[in-house]
Amino acid sequence: MSLKFLFLLTLISLSANYGYCYKILGVFTFPGGSHNILTSKFMKGLLRAGHDVTMVATLPMNDVPEGGKYNEILVDGIIEYFEKFKGSRNMFDLTRQNFLKRRIFMLELFNNFNAITFNDTKVQKLIHSGEKFDAVVLEQFNNDGLKVFAHIFDCPLIIVSSMGPNSWVNNLVGNPSPASYVGHLAIGDFSKDLSIYNRAKNLIVYIGDYLLTTLYILPKQDTVMRQFFPDAPPLQDLYTNVSLILLNSHTSLYPALPVVPNMVEVGGYFIDPPKELPKDLKDILDNSPEGVIYFSLGSNLKSKDLPLEQREFILRVLGKLKEKVLWKFEEDLPDRPKNVLIRKWLPQQDVLAHPNIKLFITHGGLLSTTETTYHGVPILAIPVFGDQKSNADRVVIAGYGLKLEYGSSDFTEENFEKSLNELLRNPKYRNNAKNKQKIYHDRPEKPMKTAVYWVEYVIRHKGAPHLRVAGVNLPWYKYYMVDVLVVILLTLLVVCKTGKCVVQKLFRKLKRTVSNEKKTN
C-alpha cells in the first residue's frame, strides 16, 4: 500500500467522523452534582465529535475537550437561590414527603430556576443575538418551560433523560407504557409480581400523576414561561414537540421496556474508562487481599448528615467485618473502627474498577448503580429519595444486591449486619453482578458514539418527523380507544335492547301457539 493511499484513507475516515459541524445549544440549569455530570459529559461528547456547543448552565464545564468551539453562558443567581432553598432542610428529610408533595415542591423550585434563567441578561442577549442553532438539548427534569428555547431558535428539541423510559418522558413521544407492567416512577419495577393489587395501585398513580401534570404542573410552567415570552405557543404543544429522547438506560440496567423509534438507549454514555488510582488509594486497595467495601451516599446527600444514632450503628457493624471500608465522609469521624478509612472525596469510577472491591454501599443514585454494573460489583442500596428506591428495586430483582430503605423500619442495626454478611458471604450476588457486567458491555458500539450519531441524524433529517408515532398527539380517550369502546357498548346495548324485544315477542308467540295447541288437543 502506498503512502499516498494511506493518507487518502486517513482523510476519508477523518471526514466521515467530522462530516458536518453542527451548532448545538444545551440548557441545563439544575445545579445538582449528578445531573451536572450527566449533561456536561453529554456536551463533551458532542464537542469531541467536532460540533460547536453553547451551554447555558449554572456550573462551568471543567476540562473542556478538544474538538468543536465551546461557548459557556453561566446563569447568575441559581446556585444562591438553591442554597437558600436547601438551607434549612436536611435532604434526608425528603424521604418523608409523598410523591405528590414532592412533585409540587419540585415545581416551585424548578419554576424559579426557569424564571432566573429567562431573566438573565446574558441569556436574553443570546436570545436576541440572532444566533442560529441546529438543535436544542435539555434534560427532562421538572423544567418543561425551558422547551421554549427550541421554539425561539426554531430547531429540533433533543431531550436527555437521566433514567430509562419513564412517565416523565413517555408522554413527550407517545411511548407505550401499559400500567399493567410498566411501573410508574413512584412505584418502581413490579414486574416480578403483576398481581391485581399492584397493577391497580400502579394505574391509580399513573392517573393521579397525569392529572397533576396536565392540570397543575404544565399550566404553572406555562405561566412563568409566558411572563417572559408572551407570544410563545402553548406549553402543551411545545411539550410534545420532541425530536429525540436519549435515555441513560440499557437492558443491563433496566427491565425490558418498549421504546418508540425516537427514543434511544445510551445508558452509561457518561462513564469514562477507569484511570490509574492516586498512589495512597492504590496502596490501600492493592494491600487488602481480604477485600474492601466502598461506601458513598453520593454528592447531594452527605454522609455527615446521617443522624447520630444511625451513624453509630453503622460504625459498630462495619467494625466487626474483616474487610476494610473506604467511606466517602465529609468531615472528621474520630471514633471510627480501625478498618474504616474515610476520605472527603473519592474517584468512584476508579475505586470501583479495583479487583479487591467486594461491595458498594450506596444511596442507589443512577450514576452509582450504572457504574457498579459497568464494573460488576454487588450493591447494598440505602435509597433516600427520588429514583433511588426504584434503582435499588431493579438491582434487587436482578439479584446483584440488597436494599435497606432509609427511613423505613427495615433500616436497623440487625438488618444492616445481616445484609452485609449475606452480600459478602453468598457468591450469588457477585456472580449476578458479573453477568450484568457482561450484558452491559455487549453492544455494537460505545453508547456515547450512538448518542452522537442520533443527534446528527435528527439534525440531518430536520427533526426526523418520520420517527414520531401518531399516538403522541392523541388525547387519552382516543389513545386508549375509550371513544370506540363507548360506541361499541352503546351499539351492543341498542342491539340487545331491540334483540331482547324481538326474542321476547318470539317467545310470547311461541308460548301462545303451544298453549293453543294444548287447548285443541
Ligand X SMILES: *[C@@H]1O[C@H](CO)[C@@H](O)[C@H](O)[C@H]1NC(C)=O
- Residues in contact with ligand X by the rule CB under 6 A: 115, 119, 151, 154, 156, 227, 233, 237-238, 241, 243, 463
> Which three three-digit cell numbers place residue 131?
444566533
- Own/partner contacts of 227-231, CB < 8 Å, gap of 24 or more, are 227/115, 227/118, 228/115, 228/118, 228/119, 229/118, 229/148, 229/152
Q: Which is nearer to ligand X, 117 or 299 (CB)?
A: 117
- Residue 65 is classified by DSSP as P
Q: Which is nearer to ligand X, 118 or 329 (CB)?
A: 118
Residues 41 and 61: beta-carbon distance below 8 Å:
no
Q: How far is the CB of 115 from ligand X (least distance, A)?
A: 5
Alpha-carbon 63 to chain mean position:
25
Q: How far is the CB of 81 from ligand X (least distance, A)?
A: 11
Residues ≥6 apart with Cβ < 8 Å to 156: 134, 135, 136, 150, 243, 244, 458, 459, 462, 463, 464
Q: Which is nearer to ligand X, 119 or 214 (CB)?
A: 119
Residue 313: enclosing H or E segment and its boundaries?
helix 308-319
Q: Which is nearer to ligand X, 99 or 228 (CB)?
A: 228
Q: How far is the CB of 19 from ligand X (least distance, A)?
A: 20
Q: What is the DSSP string of 87-108?
A: HT--GGGGGGS-HHHHHHHHHH
Residue 132: enclosing H or E segment and its boundaries?
none
For residues 252-280, b (16+ Cβ closer than 10 Å) or e, as one string? Answer: bbbbebebbebbbbbbbbbbeebeebeee
Q: How far is the CB of 242 from ligand X (least distance, A)?
A: 8
Q: How far is the CB of 239 from ligand X (least distance, A)?
A: 10
Q: Which is nearer to ligand X, 461 or 511 (CB)?
A: 461
Q: Which is nearer to ligand X, 234 or 499 (CB)?
A: 234
Q: How far apart are the first and last CA of the chain?
A: 112
Q: Which residues pair with 244 in a beta bridge?
A: 158
Q: Which residue is nearest to ligand X (CB)?
A: 463
Q: Which is nearer to ligand X, 121 or 521 (CB)?
A: 121
Q: How far is the CB of 227 from ligand X (least distance, A)?
A: 6
> Which three three-digit cell numbers place residue 465?
418527523
Q: Which residue in 377, 380, 381 sits closest to 357, CA to CA?
A: 377
Q: How far is the CB of 80 from ligand X (least distance, A)?
A: 14
Residues 101 and 108: beta-carbon distance below 8 Å:
no
Cα(184)–Cα(380) distance, integer angstroms? 23
Q: Which is nearer to ligand X, 224 or 306 (CB)?
A: 224
Q: Which is nearer to ligand X, 227 or 504 (CB)?
A: 227
> Which three three-digit cell numbers place residue 62?
471543567
Q: How far is the CB of 156 from ligand X (least distance, A)?
A: 4
Q: How far is the CB of 423 from ligand X (least distance, A)?
A: 48
